Structure 1
Amino acid sequence: MSRPLVGVTTSRRSGWRIFPLIALNVWMAGGRAQRWVDGSDARVEDVDGLIIGGGDDISPDLYGGQLVSSARLDPGRDALERRLVHDAFDLDKPVLGICRGSQMLNVALGGTLHQDAYDAYRDSDRHRTILPRKTVLITPGTRLARLAGDAPMKINALHSQAVDRLGDGLRVAARDRGGMIQAIERLHDPFAIGVQWHPEHLFYARRQQGLFRALIAAARARQAHRDQMEQVDSTGL
């Protein structure tokens, strides 16, 4: 069977550094990756799955929030990614959201964000590093728990925003020790999961690899017209 093709959105400015890492993770999971930036001829019809990558903050215009002075925005990318998420759900194709991508998944489904996450969650550990120094608590019984186990997980953290009100059809899959949402997941097909951290930097960790394996498993299920969630559940630890 050929490797599923995954469209990967990145920042036009810095994505050249990040895309090779995401592409490596996708390849290790059994897929292949194609990079999209604002201005690309990006069509969900041409791929088997979608990764919304990390990057700048999401404009509060998309969900009626208040802009903070520290925000760095990319309206063109916002519009591209929101369209791609909607198209993926319309075409029953799986989605993985990474950091900003998790936030975009939530916003595209009608949710909102905390513009300044650490102001909203004063007890959350504030680390800004690609090293796994932050601890998250995985919600028992979730798909993330089946993929990666429900023991506390060490992750990295580079974000300033975080999920506030959940979008339609989503549930919380992990929080940090201060209560801030760190992962969300969709309850029904198509498969979709969003994580606040950057698993592409942690490619050596089996629990992080599970996220990419799940996306590829869901993409293969979609190709074969099978239930994606059932297929994903069989890829866990």
Structure 2
Amino acid sequence: MMRPLIGITTYVEPASWGVWHRLPTTLVPHAYVEAVTLAGGRAVLLPPDDADTDVLRRMDGLVLGGGADVDPARYGASPQPLTDTRPQRDAAELPLARAALATDLPVLGVCRGMQVLAVAAGGRLEQHLPDVVGHDKHRPAPGVYGSQQAVFESGSRIAELMGADREINCYHHQGVADAGALSVTGWAADGVVEALEDPGRPFVLGVQWHPEVSRDRRLFGALVSAASA
């Protein structure tokens, strides 16, 4: 039986390896690929391409990955000093998110990916959470994940998947202020949105934390199962 094809959106960043230094590179942390593989899927990397969303016709599921901030113009706001955008990704990923929602393609949004889902669904973002919540616990230091205890909506998909586990690992300075047409189903203790979903669709889930780092088979397994249906 063929493994379901799971598209993963990618970063475009300067990268160095061997004799090559700071080349513009299409990449993604291998943790995403491994999380999909361990869950039984076949990972397919999707470079930013704003020409169309036709690639989704070949995909059985979609992971919207993490990375830099969504351009505030995409939700009708002006950029604040600490907002760091990648317009090329926005131009490609927002149409992919909207197309996935429109066609009921199973989709998992991770960190930035959850924020992309929110904006695609008509929502908006907080551009710098420390200005709102008064602390840096969601991104305590460069390259250091924060540890949070989340609360999940009873009866929600994320509550079912996480069970009694409430520990999450996060690394973000922005957050969802308005989920648009999606439902908020998870929060940190300070009220920051940690999970979004659409109970009216087969599988639409966004999480603000990084389940790929721990190769969380609950979330990636649920995506792969939905993609196999």
Structure 1 length-normalised TM = 0.84
Q: What does 1:1-237 correspond to in 2, within 5 Å?
A: 1-13=1-13, 16-18=27-29, 20-39=30-49, 43-122=55-134, 125-128=137-140, 131=145, 133-149=147-163, 151=164, 153-168=166-181, 170-203=182-215, 208-221=216-229
CA distance in 2, matches of 1:190, 1:120: 33
Q: Deviations over 1:43-94 (max 9, x none)?
A: 1111111000000000011111231111111111101001111111232211
- What TM-score, normalized by structure 2, do the two folds share? 0.86
Where does the alignment leave 5 or more consecutive residues of structure 2 unmatched?
A: 16-25
1: distance between equivalents of 2:62 and 2:28? 19
Instruction: Give the paired residue count.
Output: 214
Task: Report the Cα distance in structure 2 between the residues aligned to 1:189 and 1:154, rounded to whole angstroms.
Answer: 26
Q: Is the 8 A contact 1:130 1:156 kept in 2?
A: no
Q: Distance in 2 between matches of 1:111 and 1:148?
A: 25
Mapped to 1, the partners of 2:146 and 2:174 lie a distance apart of 19
Q: Please tell me whether the aligned partners of residues 10 and 28 of structure 2 are also in contact (alpha carbons under 8 angstroms).
A: no
Which structure: greater helix fraction? 1
After TM superposition, give the deviation of residue 123 of structure 1 in Å. Answer: 6.2
**CA distance, structure 1, for counterparts of residue 172 and residue 75 of structure 2:** 18
Give the 3-state SS of the residue equivalent to 2:212 in structure 1. helix
Distance 1:134 1:17, change over 3 A: same
- Unpaired runs of 5+ residues, structure 1, are 222-237
**What is the root-mean-square deviation in Å for CA atoms of aligned residues?**
2.0
DSSP 3-state at the match of 1:215: helix
Tell me, in whole angstroms, the C-alpha distance in 2 between the residues paired with 1:184 and 1:45.
24
More strand by share: 2
Q: Note the alpha carbon deviations across 1:84-123, whole angstroms, 9 max, x for none.
A: 1111123221110000000000000101111112212226
Give the stretch that moved more between structures: 27-36 or 134-143.
Answer: 134-143
Contact 1:124–1:177 (CA under 8 A) maintained in structure 2: no
70-79 vs 100-109, which moves further: 70-79
Give 1:133 deviation, angstroms: 2.2
